[in-house]
Amino acid sequence: MPKKDILERLKETGALMEGHFLLSSGLHSDKYVQCAKLLQHPHHATWCAEQLVDMLPEMDWDLVISPAIGGIVIGQEVARELGVRHVFAEKVDSVPTLRRNFRIFEGDSVLLVEDVVTTGLSSNEVVKLVTEEGGNVTAACAIIDRGGGKNLKVPFKALAKLQFEIWEPEKCPKCMEGIPFIKPGSRKQKEE
Protein backbone atom coordinates (compact mmCIF):
# COMPACT_ATOMS: atom_id res chain seq x y z
CA MET A 1 0.00 0.00 0.00
CA PRO A 2 1.53 3.38 -0.99
CA LYS A 3 2.22 5.85 1.80
CA LYS A 4 0.02 8.92 2.01
CA ASP A 5 1.64 12.18 1.00
CA ILE A 6 1.12 15.50 2.76
CA LEU A 7 -1.76 16.63 0.51
CA GLU A 8 -3.68 13.41 1.11
CA ARG A 9 -3.17 13.84 4.86
CA LEU A 10 -4.36 17.47 4.75
CA LYS A 11 -7.51 16.48 2.87
CA GLU A 12 -8.18 13.42 5.03
CA THR A 13 -8.07 15.48 8.24
CA GLY A 14 -10.01 18.46 6.90
CA ALA A 15 -6.96 20.69 7.19
CA LEU A 16 -7.22 21.76 3.53
CA MET A 17 -10.45 23.72 3.38
CA GLU A 18 -12.44 25.29 0.57
CA GLY A 19 -14.96 28.09 0.92
CA HIS A 20 -14.65 31.83 1.54
CA PHE A 21 -12.00 32.87 4.03
CA LEU A 22 -10.87 36.15 5.55
CA LEU A 23 -7.10 35.95 6.00
CA SER A 24 -5.11 37.65 8.77
CA SER A 25 -3.80 40.07 6.13
CA GLY A 26 -7.36 41.27 5.43
CA LEU A 27 -7.32 39.61 2.01
CA HIS A 28 -9.82 36.93 0.97
CA SER A 29 -9.24 33.42 -0.43
CA ASP A 30 -11.29 30.42 -1.50
CA LYS A 31 -8.88 27.96 0.15
CA TYR A 32 -7.26 27.74 3.58
CA VAL A 33 -4.83 25.40 5.33
CA GLN A 34 -5.38 24.83 9.05
CA CYS A 35 -2.47 22.58 10.07
CA ALA A 36 -3.86 22.25 13.59
CA LYS A 37 -6.50 19.93 12.14
CA LEU A 38 -3.72 17.72 10.77
CA LEU A 39 -1.49 17.94 13.86
CA GLN A 40 -4.28 16.99 16.28
CA HIS A 41 -3.54 13.43 15.12
CA PRO A 42 -0.21 12.38 16.69
CA HIS A 43 0.62 9.87 13.94
CA HIS A 44 0.37 12.65 11.32
CA ALA A 45 2.47 15.00 13.48
CA THR A 46 5.15 12.33 13.87
CA TRP A 47 5.10 11.57 10.14
CA CYS A 48 5.48 15.28 9.25
CA ALA A 49 8.41 15.66 11.66
CA GLU A 50 10.16 12.60 10.22
CA GLN A 51 9.71 13.90 6.68
CA LEU A 52 11.00 17.38 7.60
CA VAL A 53 14.08 16.01 9.38
CA ASP A 54 14.85 13.85 6.33
CA MET A 55 14.80 16.99 4.14
CA LEU A 56 17.17 18.98 6.34
CA PRO A 57 20.93 19.17 5.93
CA GLU A 58 23.01 17.14 8.39
CA MET A 59 23.74 19.60 11.19
CA ASP A 60 24.27 19.62 14.93
CA TRP A 61 21.42 21.79 16.16
CA ASP A 62 21.25 22.82 19.80
CA LEU A 63 17.66 23.96 19.73
CA VAL A 64 14.41 24.12 17.75
CA ILE A 65 12.32 27.30 17.99
CA SER A 66 8.77 27.82 16.77
CA PRO A 67 6.42 30.77 16.76
CA ALA A 68 3.36 30.30 18.96
CA ILE A 69 0.85 29.01 18.50
CA GLY A 70 0.77 27.22 15.15
CA GLY A 71 4.35 26.02 15.19
CA ILE A 72 4.41 24.55 18.69
CA VAL A 73 3.21 21.01 17.94
CA ILE A 74 5.34 20.45 14.84
CA GLY A 75 8.31 22.18 16.49
CA GLN A 76 8.09 19.82 19.47
CA GLU A 77 7.87 16.79 17.15
CA VAL A 78 10.89 17.89 15.09
CA ALA A 79 12.89 18.56 18.27
CA ARG A 80 12.00 15.09 19.55
CA GLU A 81 13.12 13.59 16.26
CA LEU A 82 16.43 15.51 16.47
CA GLY A 83 16.91 14.89 20.20
CA VAL A 84 17.22 18.58 21.08
CA ARG A 85 15.38 21.18 23.18
CA HIS A 86 12.33 23.01 21.85
CA VAL A 87 11.20 26.52 22.80
CA PHE A 88 8.56 28.79 21.34
CA ALA A 89 8.28 32.52 20.87
CA GLU A 90 5.11 34.30 21.99
CA LYS A 91 3.99 37.73 20.84
CA VAL A 92 4.02 40.46 23.46
CA ASP A 93 2.76 43.78 22.06
CA SER A 94 3.05 42.22 18.57
CA VAL A 95 6.74 41.34 19.04
CA PRO A 96 7.99 37.72 19.33
CA THR A 97 9.43 37.23 22.79
CA LEU A 98 10.89 34.42 24.86
CA ARG A 99 8.80 33.85 27.97
CA ARG A 100 8.47 31.00 30.51
CA ASN A 101 12.20 31.29 31.33
CA PHE A 102 13.13 29.94 27.89
CA ARG A 103 16.76 30.66 27.00
CA ILE A 104 18.82 30.74 23.86
CA PHE A 105 22.49 30.54 24.68
CA GLU A 106 25.31 32.40 22.96
CA GLY A 107 26.34 30.49 19.85
CA ASP A 108 23.35 28.09 19.83
CA SER A 109 22.68 26.60 16.40
CA VAL A 110 18.91 26.95 15.99
CA LEU A 111 16.39 25.36 13.63
CA LEU A 112 13.20 27.37 13.05
CA VAL A 113 10.11 25.17 12.58
CA GLU A 114 6.69 26.44 11.42
CA ASP A 115 3.41 24.87 10.44
CA VAL A 116 2.62 27.26 7.55
CA VAL A 117 4.74 30.06 6.11
CA THR A 118 2.48 32.54 4.34
CA THR A 119 4.45 35.79 4.00
CA GLY A 120 7.57 34.91 6.01
CA LEU A 121 7.05 37.88 8.33
CA SER A 122 6.60 35.88 11.55
CA SER A 123 9.50 33.60 10.69
CA ASN A 124 11.86 36.50 10.03
CA GLU A 125 10.76 38.12 13.32
CA VAL A 126 11.73 34.92 15.14
CA VAL A 127 15.09 34.83 13.30
CA LYS A 128 15.71 38.38 14.56
CA LEU A 129 14.79 37.34 18.13
CA VAL A 130 17.21 34.40 18.03
CA THR A 131 20.00 36.64 16.71
CA GLU A 132 19.37 39.23 19.43
CA GLU A 133 19.61 36.44 22.03
CA GLY A 134 23.01 35.35 20.67
CA GLY A 135 21.89 32.31 18.70
CA ASN A 136 22.13 31.58 15.00
CA VAL A 137 19.19 30.28 12.94
CA THR A 138 20.95 28.04 10.43
CA ALA A 139 17.84 26.69 8.66
CA ALA A 140 14.05 26.76 8.70
CA CYS A 141 11.33 24.32 7.71
CA ALA A 142 7.55 24.11 7.58
CA ILE A 143 4.81 21.71 6.69
CA ILE A 144 3.39 24.14 4.11
CA ASP A 145 4.94 27.01 2.16
CA ARG A 146 2.18 29.34 0.96
CA GLY A 147 4.77 31.38 -0.96
CA GLY A 148 6.61 33.16 1.84
CA GLY A 149 9.48 30.68 2.01
CA LYS A 150 11.31 32.71 -0.61
CA ASN A 151 11.26 35.68 1.79
CA LEU A 152 13.12 33.94 4.60
CA LYS A 153 16.66 35.02 5.44
CA VAL A 154 17.82 31.44 6.04
CA PRO A 155 17.77 28.20 3.98
CA PHE A 156 14.20 26.85 3.94
CA LYS A 157 12.44 23.54 3.20
CA ALA A 158 8.74 22.59 3.22
CA LEU A 159 6.79 19.40 2.69
CA ALA A 160 4.57 21.14 0.12
CA LYS A 161 4.21 24.49 -1.60
CA LEU A 162 0.60 25.57 -2.09
CA GLN A 163 -0.49 28.65 -4.03
CA PHE A 164 -4.04 29.87 -3.48
CA GLU A 165 -5.78 32.74 -5.18
CA ILE A 166 -6.23 35.75 -2.93
CA TRP A 167 -8.21 38.92 -3.50
CA GLU A 168 -8.67 42.37 -2.07
CA PRO A 169 -12.11 42.37 -0.38
CA GLU A 170 -13.57 44.72 -3.00
CA LYS A 171 -12.44 42.38 -5.82
CA CYS A 172 -13.37 39.10 -4.16
CA PRO A 173 -15.69 37.01 -6.38
CA LYS A 174 -17.12 35.24 -3.31
CA CYS A 175 -18.13 38.60 -1.81
CA MET A 176 -19.67 39.62 -5.14
CA GLU A 177 -21.75 36.42 -4.99
CA GLY A 178 -22.88 37.34 -1.46
CA ILE A 179 -21.18 34.33 0.15
CA PRO A 180 -20.25 35.10 3.78
CA PHE A 181 -16.64 34.53 4.83
CA ILE A 182 -15.17 32.82 7.86
CA LYS A 183 -11.91 33.66 9.64
CA PRO A 184 -10.26 30.41 10.75
CA GLY A 185 -6.77 31.73 11.57
CA SER A 186 -5.24 32.33 14.99
CA ARG A 187 -3.82 35.81 14.39
CA LYS A 188 -5.73 39.03 14.82
CA GLN A 189 -6.86 40.63 11.59
CA LYS A 190 -5.10 43.86 10.62
CA GLU A 191 -7.00 46.97 11.61
CA GLU A 192 -8.99 48.56 8.79
Query: What distance in Å separates the CA atoms of residue 157 and residue 188, rounded to the nearest whole number?
Result: 27
At 41, the amino acid letter reads H
In a domain, 127, yes or no: yes
In a domain, 184, yes or no: no
Query: What distance in Å separates the CA atoms of residue 122 and residue 181, rounded to the nearest whole number?
Result: 24
DSSP character at residue 77: H
In Å, how far are 26, 62, 145, 156 from 127, measured between CA atoms? Answer: 25, 15, 17, 12
Give the pLDDT confidence score for residue 185 in this predicted structure: 66
Q: What would the pLDDT profile of 87-100 be if each residue is shown by its tens digit?
A: 999 999 989 889 99
In a domain, 192, yes or no: no
- Provide the domain count of the chain: 1
Query: What distance in Å separates the CA atoms of residue 141 and residue 75, rounded to the nearest whole number?
Result: 10
Query: What distance in Å separates the CA atoms of residue 28 and residue 24, rounded to the nearest whole number?
Result: 9
Q: Does the pLDDT at position 1 exceed 90?
A: no
Q: What would the pLDDT profile of 131-190 be if each residue is shown by its tens digit?
A: 999 999 999 999 999 888 899 989 999 999 998 888 999 999 999 999 999 988 655 544
pTM: 0.88
Helix (H) / strand (E) element for 67: namely strand 63-67
Helix (H) / strand (E) element for 17: namely strand 16-22
Q: Does the pLDDT at position 2 exceed 80?
A: no
Residue 154's domain comprises 6-176
In a domain, 45, yes or no: yes
